[in-house]
Amino acid sequence: MHEAARSIMGRLRARDAVELAELGIDPESAANAFASPAVLARTFVHDGTLAAIVSFHRLTPKAVAASLMATDNWFRVARAVVRWGIREARPALLAKGYARAECRTMEGHADAIRLLERLGFVCECRMPDFGATGAAFLQYAWRLEDHVPVQIAESSTAAAPAADTGLQAGGRAE
């Protein structure tokens, strides 16, 4: 997992690099964090090249921290990430006894916000002056026992907005 994380960190999409810098985390430290033992983690590949990494690390006995970093090929695997999150990650986390996943993202990081909301995360609060240069962040929570309809990832009504938001996954995920 460490080499996968390092590969992605070396080719981060610009917005993820800015977010890491605001958090005061360099790409090597981020790669190490993604490679540390996780409750659940997965990489997503497009045309044989790593495009994204998702991990859930334990915060408390009932909560995990959700993290995602991606390359510019994000839009090619985004739909697969949503499907995996709803069909596999959520049930796996529930089976392990977790009730909540938390994620913070920089205000204005539209791709991250769309992904979180498609998965069923709810914005809990705005955190002004959280970043290194004073950037505001948003804290989202995925209350895992809440009902999240699978149609979010699959329906034709969800597919139309997805085309506008970069949530297409034209490639296959591995």
Residue 172 lies in a domain: no
The total domain count for the chain is 1
Number of residues written out for the chain: 174
Model confidence over 121-172: pLDDT tens digits? 999 999 999 999 999 999 999 998 876 544 444 443 343 333 333 333 334 3
Q: Return phi, psi of residue 10, to 5°.
A: -75, -15
Q: At what angle do helices 156-165 and 110-119 cross, to 10 degrees?
A: 160
Could you tell me the residue range of the domain that residue 50 belongs to? 2-165
Amino acid occupying residue 6: R
Residue 171 lies in a domain: no
CB 75 within 8 A of CB 167: yes
Residue 154 lies in a domain: yes
The pLDDT assigned to 153 comes to: 40
d(CA 118, CA 166): 12
Phi-psi region of 149 (alpha: psi -120 to 50; beta: other; left: phi over 0): beta
Residue 111 lies in a domain: yes
The CATH number covering residue 28 comes to 3.40.630.30
Model confidence over 83-102: pLDDT tens digits? 999 999 999 999 999 999 99
- pLDDT at residue 35 tops 80: yes
The pLDDT assigned to 173 comes to: 40
Residue 170 lies in a domain: no
The pLDDT assigned to 139 comes to: 97
Percent of the chain whose predicted confidence (pLDDT) is above 90: 78
